Amino acid sequence: MVTLTRLNGKSFIINALYIEQIESFPDTTITLTNGKKFVVRESEGDVMLSVVNFYRSIQILGLHKHLEEDRFEE
């Protein structure tokens, strides 16, 4: 889950597994797999970082991180 902030300043939590697309129009707009859209204060990069951290916390990206570290050690 990822905590984000609406343009009106209210925070909310979104399930990152349902994020299909993140765009800047210039406001950051998140589109879910069901087509619902959210406009948030966070930048596109901040949202991506939060999503990656969430994936790592549930060990979806954990293997990739270890493979990446092994590649740089060679």
* Cα distance between residue 11 and residue 34, in whole Å: 21
* CA 74 to chain centroid: 30
> Bridge partners of 31?
21, 37
Token pair recorded at residue 1: 């889950």
Look up residue 8 and give its DSSP letter: T
Kindly report, residue by residue over 11-65, the tens digit of the pLDDT.
999 999 999 999 998 899 999 999 999 999 999 999 999 999 888 888 776 655 5
pTM above 0.85, yes or no: no
Token pair recorded at residue 17: 């597994």
